[in-house]
């Protein structure tokens, strides 16, 4: 098969979507499929080589003003149409809505080929980045107020409703939508986005992961990923501070390690300093994923996230693959993976006290950590990359055949 993939985010950016795309396209290419990736051009000129069957085309882009790590592709219909025509795909797979999406939809319609999309990101939960105080660069003046309002369910409701209408306009035009989790499929059904939705995990290559066997206490807790408003790393910091002080226990030897970068990095550093926790909360900045996998994961007692916008969470999948239990929150796709008292614990979103309580519970019992960690590894096995690639191949073939029959019936 010849598969055209469109995405604004790609290497050298390294988030969950990019990690998933690289491993998936490489696995498909190794099975003989040919892939064209149309994506953003970054300031860094060094290109990644994934496989000889994968061609990468870069389009001029600019950074999002309020989040420099996000690239926005500039309009270039002629270039996109030319590359698609030269490649002559059997199917187009859109991984992010953007400027190139209307071009891809038009090409697919004109050439009567199927076009599908994966719903990777809940952009409705990232409204913060287009708010006036962000665009004007004065958001630091509103930090405390924003933190207080984080769990206000009606916040930005009008803007979110408008964004959902835009999403519906575009996603309803795809032949099929893939979601990485059942929770997000249900969300899209509720919003009447598209009638044809299937769940296929992002997948994970378990062969890359060393597996934790020693669950004795390491006195280290891990969080890794993008440090951004919707990931709520500030909530984790406050919960960890609460945990250290619970029941007047002396827990000064326990550390929370935060790996990642993003627009809230400096804010989190300031918070750590304000709480006087610089000795017990270490913030590392960006580290390559291979370094995290090989040198970090198995050396921690458990991982934790307070993110409220996950469509699956590669952080959780990768922690599970290493046999590391996870504490998460009851929002969107996280409970699909983190099953309460089975693979970890689920706290209420934004509930600092409850997150601290589950940290304490996890910290106090090696037997509990091992039981949860073993179950987490079993859960990760359901998402083994080879299984996911087989599902994806079967779906591509089915959609291509269905489109062929529809076209022939019209002749």
- Provide DSSP, 321-378: HTT--EEEESSTTHHHHS-BTTTEEEEPTT-HHHHHHHHHHHHH-HHHHHHHHHHHHH
Residues 268, 357 share a domain:
yes
Structural domain total, the chain: 2
Residues 217, 306 share a domain:
yes
Give the CATH number of the domain where residue 234 resides: 3.40.50.2000
Residues 336, 313 share a domain:
yes
Give me the pLDDT at residue 154, please: 56
Cα–Cα dist 204/385, whole Å: 5
Q: Which of 42-56, 116-130, 169-183 has the highest mean pLDDT?
A: 169-183
Q: pLDDT-based confidence at 15, cuts 50/70/90?
A: confident
Residue 40 in this model has a pLDDT that exceeds 50: yes
- Look up the pTM and report it: 0.90
Residues 303, 199 share a domain:
no
Residues 228, 364 share a domain:
yes
- Structure token digits, residue 22: 């690289």
Give me the pLDDT at residue 145, please: 52
Residues 198, 80 share a domain:
yes
100-112 residue pLDDT tens: 999 999 999 999 9
Residue 152 in this model has a pLDDT that exceeds 60: no
Residues 168, 136 share a domain:
yes
**Are 160 and 138 contacting, i.e. CB atoms less than 8 angstroms apart?**
no
Q: Which domain holds residue 133?
A: 2-203+385-410
Q: pLDDT-based confidence at 136, cuts 50/70/90?
A: very low
Residue 153 in this model has a pLDDT that exceeds 90: no
Residue 410 in this model has a pLDDT that exceeds 90: no
218-265 residue pLDDT tens: 999 999 999 988 899 999 999 999 999 987 777 888 999 999 999 899
Residues 326, 234 share a domain:
yes
- Determine what percent of the chain is predicted with pLDDT higher than 90: 77
Residues 331, 226 share a domain:
yes
Residues 78, 145 share a domain:
yes
Residues 219, 98 share a domain:
no
Cα–Cα dist 174/84, whole Å: 17
Cα–Cα dist 202/200, whole Å: 7
Tell me the CA distances in angstroms from 40 to 84, 238, 298, one per residue in order.
16, 36, 34
- Structure token digits, residue 90: 């059997």
Residues 156, 265 share a domain:
no
352-363 residue pLDDT tens: 999 999 999 999
Across the chain, what does the average pLDDT equal?
Answer: 91
């Amino acid at each position: 098969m010849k598969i055209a993939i469109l995405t604004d985010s790609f290497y050298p950016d390294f988030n969950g979507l990019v990690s998933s795309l690289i491993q998936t396209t490489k696995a498909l290419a190794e099975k003989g499929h040919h892939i064209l990736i149309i994506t953003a051009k970054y300031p860094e000129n060094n290109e990644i080589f994934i496989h000889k069957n994968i061609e990468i085309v870069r389009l001029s882009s600019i950074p999002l003003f309020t989040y420099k790590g996000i690239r926005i592709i500039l309009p270039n219909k002629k270039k996109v149409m030319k590359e698609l025509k030269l490649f002559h795909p059997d199917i187009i797979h859109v991984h992010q809505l953007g400027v190139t999406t209307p071009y891809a939809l038009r090409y697919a319609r004109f050439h009567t080929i199927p076009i599908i999309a994966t719903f990777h990101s809940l952009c409705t939960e990232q409204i913060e980045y287009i708010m006036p105080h962000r665009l004007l660069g004065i958001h630091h003046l509103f930090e405390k107020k924003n933190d207080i309002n984080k769990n206000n369910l009606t916040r930005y409701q009008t803007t979110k409703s408008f964004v959902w209408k835009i999403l519906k306009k575009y996603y309803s035009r795809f032949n099929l939508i893939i979601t990485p989790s059942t929770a997000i499929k249900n969300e899209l059904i509720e919003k009447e986005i598209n009638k044809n939705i299937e769940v296929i995990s992002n997948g994970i290559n378990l062969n890359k992961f060393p597996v934790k066997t020693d669950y004795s206490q390491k006195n280290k807790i891990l969080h890794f990923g993008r440090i951004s408003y919707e990931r709520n790393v500030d909530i984790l910091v406050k919960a960890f501070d609460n945990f250290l002080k619970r029941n007047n226990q002396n827990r000064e030897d326990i550390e929370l390690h935060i790996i990642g970068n993003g627009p809230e990095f400096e804010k989190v550093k300031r918070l750590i300093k304000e709480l006087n926790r610089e000795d017990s909360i270490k913030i590392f900045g960006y580290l390559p994923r291979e370094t995290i996998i090989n040198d970090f994961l198995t050396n921690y007692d458990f991982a934790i996230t307070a993110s409220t916008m996950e469509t699956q969470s590669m952080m959780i999948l990768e922690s599970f693959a290493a046999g590391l239990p996870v504490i998460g929150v009851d929002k969107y796709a996280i409970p699909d993976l983190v099953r309460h008292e089975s693979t970890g614990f689920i706290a209420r979103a934004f509930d600092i006290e409850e997150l601290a309580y589950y940290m304490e519970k996890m910290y106090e019992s090696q037997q509990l950590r091992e039981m949860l960690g073993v179950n987490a590894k079993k859960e990760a096995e359901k998402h083994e990359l080879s299984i996911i690639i087989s599902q994806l191949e079967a779906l591509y073939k089915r959609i291509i055949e269905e489109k062929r029959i529809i076209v022939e019936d019209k002749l």
